[in-house]
Structures are given as C-alpha cells and as structure tokens.
Amino acid sequence: MPSNRAVSYQGPGKVTVENIDYPEFELKDGPGVNPANVGRKVPHGAIVKTVATNICGSDQHMVRGRTTAPHGLILGHEITGEVVEVGPGVEFVSVGDLVSVPFNIACGRCRNCKEGKTGICENVNPDRPGSAYGYVDMGGWVGGQAQYVLVPYADWNLLKFPDRDQAMEKILDLTMLTDIFPTGFHGCVTAGVRPGSTVYIAGAGPVGLAAAVSAFLLGAAAVIVGDLNKERLEQARSFGCETVDVSRGEPQDQIEQILGEPEVDCAVDAVGFEARGHGADSGQEQPAAVLNSLMQVTRAGGALGIPGLYVTGDPGAHDEASKQGSLSLRLGLGWAKSLSFTTGQTPVMRYNRWLMQAILHDRVQIAKAVNAVPIPLERAPKGYEDFDQGVASKFVLDPNGMLGTAA
C-alpha cells in the first residue's frame, strides 16, 4: 500500500507535513470527523492520486486560528488527480481517469443536489447542510492536500477531463476548477454581471482575481478591483482590470474617477469576515466593512455576490458579537436600495464543466491571472507563510511530482 503524506493543521500559524493512513472506502475516526460519520461505508467512492492541490484563502482562515478547527485536521479542498481505485458501487468512473474534484461534497440524491444546490447537500454532514474536504465543521471528510484522498459519490462528484495529454498541458488552469474559478464566476453570476456591466470586486486575492477574470468572460465593460495590497492590485492590472487602493479611503471617489460616477452595476465580496477598514481604518479589522462598502457603491436595484467566507464561530474576533458571526450591517441601506444578496458555498458543479471548456478551448488563462506557482508538498508550510504575508500568488502543491513541465 502506498505511503500518504499530507498537510496537517497544528494550531494557529502552524502546519506540518506528516504521514497519514492511505484512504479506505470507509470514513475513519480522526481530528474533526463528525462522530456520526465514523464508520460510514463509501462503496460509491474513488481513491484519487493527487496531481495538484491548492492552498486556499479559506484554509488560511483556519491556519490563522480564526475558526474552531481542531489540531491535526488534514487540510485541503482544491483537488485535481488521477483515479487509482474505485469502490464496488462506482459505475461510470474508471481507474486512470484524470479528474477535477469539486470542493463541495454532494450525494446527488437529496432534494438540494437534485435542484443543483450542491453546496448544501443534506446527506454528507450530520450537523448541517453542506460539506467539504479538510474543513472545520464540514463533516470531517479527510482533506486533499495529500498524496491520496477518498472522494465519495464519485460518479456524481468527479468531472473527467476528456483528453489526458491536453489536460496535463493545461493542468495549472484546470486545477482552479475545484474552487476559485467557479467561486469567482458564481460571485459574478449572482451579482448579475452581463455584457456591458460595470463591476466592482472587493479583494484582489485569488478568488477576487478569479472573479475579475469571470467578469470579463461574462462580457463586463469595466472591471474594478479594490484591495489594500499593492502587489495584488498590480496583478489585477496585469490582465486589464482598473484598481482601487482602499487604503486611500472609501472606494466611491476612486470609482467615480474611473467611471465618471460613484456607483457600479454589480459588486462582488471576495474578502469575507477578516475584512479591514478603509482609509485611516485600513489597519483595523472591521468584518462588516466590505459588505457595507459594497452596498454604498452598488446602484439601486443591483445585486451583491458574496462568495467571501463568513463563519458562525470566530474565536479570534475582536468583539463578542463577531465571535458568533454577528456583524454590524447597514441592512437599512441595502433595503432602501432594493439590493439583492447571494451568500454561501458555491455550487461548483453548476459551472465547472463550462469553465473547463473555456480553458480547453483557450478562452481564458486563469492560472496566469492568479499567478499560479507550483511547489512541492513538503514546502506547504512555507507556502502558507508566504500566502499569509500577502504575496500575489496562488500556490499549487505537487504531492506526487506529477506537474512536470508545468512547474
């Protein structure tokens, strides 16, 4: 049986790479595993040898100690790999298939899955709808920043690439299909981006940059990205975005300088609950700052797409309300402007096949836009450290040395 090395959360600011058990078709007890899931049989699953697995900003929230994630949790929900074994209940996925794994774990059988709401599957997390690999309070499915990972409901969840050689040539783009590309796209779709739209995206991290790429793909006339990090803003400008440096103040004035008016048609929150204030307050954490700002800059009757993560428990928050996920929102402003809001996990399967086609047919270069940087699995701790410092890169882990010339 092959060895299995994986990235493990060891407390605030610390991750290690260690040996873990090779996957079996049964969910075992371990850090973060929901007791009701222990012993759960997975005859419908596949074991995937990881080709690429990415460090995500959502992982970083846990590693900073901003969630209730337990020590020893195996991280990683952005997984692309090769099927090496299938359970007896798998019919349409075969050994040797090169596949993308949506970060949502979904059964394909419940009411929500049948309605396309795979981010809130009712059958995979005993505590609440919705599940993901290697994430706190998501049922305890083992993470994929590892050499091998178990994927349940393989026939339903896995997206097979049609041509292996072509896929390996574009693997750094295709690895973004597991999460950030569909997440950015979902943010834009739910914000109502269409041909000719003006769009403001808060946050120039990988999801914000993916949202910007998505806005262009959807036909936006102007895409404006706001952030505090000058290197990330430069990365946004590298593929045609206008930018707003929110350390200079609220974004309205800078938006007006770009568009001739202080409002946009559509807005996307790609920051989430660790948001900081603007202008003189840019050094201070203000978890509602981005949402309130987006309500100000979005025209009446517009919409906000909110793929940025918000949590129900934040032990690192600076006040008691925020520790419970309770934020000081200007809901009256949103109500007065008749704004629409869409939150929650992105239903990746709603978009990943279409975005795969866009990549394979050279309609988009998402890896270049987010500055994808492959690194060996053993360098994951340094990758987390650099990402936390705000580097303008999307780190792609290479657990089995399969990225080849892509690296």
- Per-residue pLDDT of 352-399, as tens digits, reads 999 999 999 999 999 999 999 999 999 999 999 999 998 999 999 999
Over pLDDT 90: what percentage of the chain? Answer: 83
pLDDT tens digits along 75-110? 999 999 999 999 999 999 999 999 999 999 999 999
| Whether residue 80 is found in the same domain as residue 165 | yes
- Is residue 23 located within the same domain as residue 117? yes
| 289 and 194 housed in the same domain | yes
Q: What's the confidence (pLDDT) of residue 316?
A: 73
Contacts (Cβ under 8 Å, ≥6 apart) of 1: 22
334 and 194 within one domain: yes
Same domain assignment for residues 213 and 362: no
Counting the structural domains of the chain, the total is 2
Which pLDDT score, from 0 to 100, does residue 92 have? 97
346: its two tokens: 């992105």
- Average pLDDT estimate for 117-137: 95
In this structure, the answer to whether residues 158 and 256 fall within a common structural domain is: no
Placement of tokens 């049922």 in the chain: 139
Cβ contacts of 259 within 8 Å, gap of 6 or more: 198, 222, 224
- Are 271 and 301 members of one domain? yes
- Asked whether residue 311 falls in the same domain as residue 200, the answer is yes
Tell me the sheet residues that pair with 132: 104
Residue 254, domain CATH: 3.40.50.720
For the chain, the maximum distance between any two Cα atoms, rounded to a whole number of angstroms, is 63
Boundaries of domain holding 307: 180-342
Same domain, 119 and 16: yes
Instruction: Give the tokens for residue 79.
Output: 């997984």
Q: What percentage of residues in the chain have a pLDDT greater than 70?
A: 99
pLDDT confidence bin for 13, thresholds 50/70/90: very high
User: Same domain, yes or no, for 58 and 111?
Assistant: yes
Claim to verify: residue 79 and residue 115 sit in the same structural domain: yes
Q: What is the rounded average pLDDT of the residues 281-300?
A: 89
pTM, to two decimals: 0.95
Instruction: Count the neighbouring beta carbons within 10 Å of the beta carbon of residue 115.
Output: 10
Q: Is a pLDDT exceeding 80 seen at residue 70?
A: yes
Mean pLDDT of the chain: 94
